[in-house]
């Protein structure tokens, strides 16, 4: 089990970035950080190993790709990718803008909620067929 | 129980339209039909009583609003609206384009699958608070 | 398979009683009717075969046992009994007054919703151990 | 939607065979019948179109392949195949002998339970990726 | 994310109180303690910020409000409040006395079970609409 | 709450054994270790208190009982026993070889995934009736 489970975290607020990173690291996940949706959207092809779950803020900067668009983009690449959204203002838009089988964490949330959400989504992905 | 449960069906293929209408009527639902997403998008404000669930095809005509966009639009209006998509070619896009807590019926499907999907989604909506 | 699956329906409104009875009979269930909670509360011991699911109205008459109390009583007897509530006014009280793993059907509802609710609850009961 | 959804029913009791066939046909499914597990185990490769769900009795004759073994065999071929077991005596063995995401219907059951079980399992299969 | 997620814990046994408090604090939750149901029942209106989940023992003292009654009371105030019950003797009464969408932890339980239960229930609450 | 929740871990790789043990201990579980399926299969009768959940590797040595067979054996003894499988190569066989209501963790996985899986399965077991 030397390989790690990489979770891609997309968040531009430094403080939340570190809280999220610490929570996931405590749960035994390896964290990759991106600050913008554009940066994140490039990652699947560039990184090795690929990330196994996406945790994204919704508002990623004015005029920039937001979390809703990023998740759709990532799911086009990996149809069963676990997706967790984090947001304060936009949580109420989840039922219209989110993807199926995702979790919306309304800020503020406790670190355990994030770890549980990521774990549960990963555990429910049917194992890949060779 | 004189009031009916109206299901809005958005489908431009006449044959499927009648199959769907018959299946839902057999289940005791009242059916409202729209042939385009644009027409459907106008309905919530115009009809009385409002529709309680949306069943929509994905491809609703070239250059027209498709089922993905229509469902997002309808959920903005009614955040917990039950949504069932029907499609042949586009079923694989559901995980990236669908809304949370929706059902994708890949064509062909049996009438009972549609009735079960609509019933299950309606039954899981938490009763409204007065 | 000569034995029938008996569903106990507790409802004092004649019209709804027959709609519910017809829907369940169409689904292949056998229906036993009680008009009051008190009458229903006596049934488990008296009937043979015992009923396998309970479908109950909430308001069962002034000063009478209501559907919330009846369901709790029935679950004391049969801890995994499928329970479906039907109500207009009281649907919003389900989250505080209902029992776990039950379904609330807000009136009006389509017959298929009732049949799906009863079937789903029955199918999720773990088979009994001999 | 001219293509049908074929459900393979494996049952050696003539009476139950016809009850099950009628229930599924009423739900709009097309039914293929096999009387033994061995016969059923040959079918996926021989039929066109392939069956989309398996409904099987457990006891399929002394010294013959039983329903538990048949379902495992069929899932090796089609990992996400919907599976519904029907049994009187063996229902209690489901938690140790059944496959994940299957439904156990203890006999007797109402036709609506079968149709709901098959529909629900089919509706929860993630649409295939091209 | 400076605001905390407050979990109200109602438990009169000092030892369990501290175990529960420690487990929740480790998960990043803030804990408010009440020793009786009566005390807890007053809290929603008095505290700021309001608690977001309720974790309650069942037996809260002879002649006192028990955990079943407290949870119903709290759900009347907040219909989608996450509720976790803890009990040794009374766990078997959960199916008749508990509220829908709650979790029963039979004592003894591991701290991780409590944190997972609270997190899962919080994560499944649909984000509030503004 | 002096009694502990014992989780039986069956794994012959020393490294994974200790990772799993540490993760579960951090979650507050007590861990019992067995290196072979045969050894594990003897445990339920020998240990006191009995284990409450089973976490097992699939490949437990050539010519030895594997994890699939062990889980079936354990479920015959305890029909609602929580089961978590861990595997690299065999994860894809879960849908045909696993038991109902189990979780498959494809290696590698993060410790939090294991703790969440065990907790979730334990929390969903209906409390026993006295």
Chain E closest CA to A23's CA: distance in Å? 9
User: Which pLDDT score, from 0 to 100, does residue B43 have?
Assistant: 77
Tell the burial category of F54 from Cβ atoms under 10 Å away from its Cβ (0-12, 13-18, 19+).
buried
Residue-wise pLDDT for D6-19, tens only, equals 999 999 999 999 99
Confidence of residue B3 (pLDDT cuts 50, 70, 90): confident
Q: Which pair of structure tokens corresponds to residue E116?
A: 């997972």
Shortest CB distance from C99 goes to which of E71, E79, E98? E98
pLDDT at D86 over 80: yes
Q: At which residue do the structure tokens 């608690």 appear?
A: E51
Do E28 and A92 lie within an 8 Å CB cutoff? Answer: no
Which of C31, C103, C119 should be substituted to probe chain D, the one whose Cβ sees the most D Cβ atoms within 10 Å?
Answer: C119
Radius of gyration of chain D from Cα atoms? 14
Q: Which residues of F touch A (CB under 8 A)?
A: 15-16, 19, 23, 91-92, 94-95, 103-113, 115-117, 120
- Round the average pLDDT of chain E to a whole number and report it: 91
Which of C16, C83, C94, C112 should be substituted to probe chain B, the one whose Cβ sees the most B Cβ atoms within 10 Å?
Answer: C112
Q: Which pair of structure tokens corresponds to residue C130?
A: 């001999």
Q: How far apart are the first and last CA of chain F?
A: 19
User: How many beta-carbon pairs under 8 angstroms link C with E?
Assistant: 47
Report H helices in chain B.
Answer: 14-26, 37-46, 67-77, 94-97, 111-124
CATH topology of domain B6-123: Rossmann fold (3.40.50)
Which of C77, C80, C126 should be substituted to probe chain F, the one whose Cβ sees the most F Cβ atoms within 10 Å?
Answer: C126
Give the chain C residue whose CA is nearest to the CA of E92: C79
Give the chain C residue whose CA is nearest to the CA of B117: C116
Do D75 and F96 lie within an 8 Å CB cutoff? Answer: yes
Do C19 and B5 lie within an 8 Å CB cutoff? Answer: no
User: Which pLDDT score, from 0 to 100, does residue A122 have?
Assistant: 97
Give the chain D residue whose CA is nearest to the CA of B85: D123
Shortest CB distance from E108 goes to which of F4, F127, F130? F4
Chain E closest CA to C102's CA: distance in Å? 7
Confidence of residue D101 (pLDDT cuts 50, 70, 90): very high
Contacts of F76 in chain C (CB under 8 A): none
Q: Which pair of structure tokens corresponds to residue D75?
A: 């899932």
Q: What does each of the 130 residues of chain E score in pLDDT, given as a tens digit?
A: 557 899 999 999 999 999 999 999 999 999 999 999 999 988 765 555 689 999 999 999 999 999 999 999 999 999 999 999 999 889 999 999 999 999 999 999 999 999 999 999 999 987 655 4
Do F92 and D102 lie within an 8 Å CB cutoff? Answer: no
Shortest CB distance from B123 goes to which of C15, C107, C116? C116
Contacts of B84 in chain A (CB under 8 A): none
Shortest CB distance from C127 goes to which of D92, D111, D116? D92
Contacts of F66 in chain D (CB under 8 A): none
Residue B9 contacts residue B55 (beta carbons within 8 Å): yes
Contacts of B126 in chain E (CB under 8 A): 79-80, 126
Confidence of residue A3 (pLDDT cuts 50, 70, 90): confident
Distance CA F106, CA A126 (A): 9
Do B79 and A72 lie within an 8 Å CB cutoff? Answer: no
User: How many beta-carbon pairs under 8 angstroms link C with D?
Assistant: 60
Confidence of residue C130 (pLDDT cuts 50, 70, 90): very low
Distance CA A116, CA E115 (A): 9
Distance CA C37, CA C40 (A): 5
Give the chain A residue whose CA is nearest to the CA of F19: A1
With a cut of 0.95, is the ipTM above it? no
Give the chain B residue whose CA is nearest to the CA of D31: B110
User: Which pLDDT score, from 0 to 100, does residue B90 have?
Assistant: 92
Q: What's the per-residue H, E or C state across chain A?
A: CCCCCEEEEECCCHHHHHHHHHHHHHCCCEEEEECCHHHHHHHHHHCCCCCCEEEEECCCCCCCCCHHHHHHHHHHHCCCCCEEEEECCCHHHHHHHCCCCEEEEECCCCHHHHHHHHHHHHHHCCCCCC
Chains D and E touch (3+ CB pairs under 8 A): no
Q: At which residue do the structure tokens 């939090």 appear?
A: F112
Q: Which residues of C touch E (CB under 8 A)?
A: 71-73, 75-76, 79-80, 92-102
Q: How far apart are the first and last CA of chain E?
A: 19
The answer to whether the Cα torsion of F70, F71, F72, F73 is positive or negative is positive
Residue A74 contacts residue A41 (beta carbons within 8 Å): yes
Distance CA E77, CA E75 (A): 5
User: Which pLDDT score, from 0 to 100, does residue A130 have?
Assistant: 44
Rounded average pLDDT over B93-110: 97
- What ranges do the domains of chain D cover? 6-123
Q: Which pair of structure tokens corresponds to residue A107?
A: 């800020």
Q: Phi/psi at A2 (nearest 5 deg)?
A: -70, -30
CA distances from B51 to B45, B112, E23 (A): 10, 21, 46
**Closest among E119, E120, E121, E122 to E27, alpha carbons compared:** E119
Chains near B, with 3+ CB pairs < 8 A? A, C, D, E
Confidence of residue D49 (pLDDT cuts 50, 70, 90): low
Residue-wise pLDDT for C51-74, tens only, equals 999 999 999 999 999 999 999 999
Give the chain D residue whose CA is nearest to the CA of B106: D127
Q: Which pair of structure tokens corresponds to residue E53?
A: 């989940």
Distance CA D106, CA C130 (A): 13
Give the chain B residue whose CA is nearest to the CA of E76: B129
């Amino acid at each position: 089990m030397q390989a790690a489970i990489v979770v891609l975290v997309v968040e531009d607020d430094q403080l939340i970035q570190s809280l999220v990173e610490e929570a996931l690291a405590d749960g035994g996940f390896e964290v990759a950080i991106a600050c913008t949706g554009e940066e994140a959207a490039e990652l699947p092809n560039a990184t090795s190993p690929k990330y196994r779950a996406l945790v994204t803020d919704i508002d990623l900067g004015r005029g920039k790709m937001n979390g809703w668009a990023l998740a759709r983009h990532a799911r086009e690449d990996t149809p069963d990718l676990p997706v967790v959204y984090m947001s304060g203002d936009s949580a109420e838009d989840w039922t219209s803008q989110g993807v199926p089988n995702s979790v919306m964490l309304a800020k503020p949330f406790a670190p355990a909620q994030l770890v549980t959400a990521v774990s549960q989504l990963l555990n429910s992905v049917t194992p890949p067929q060779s």
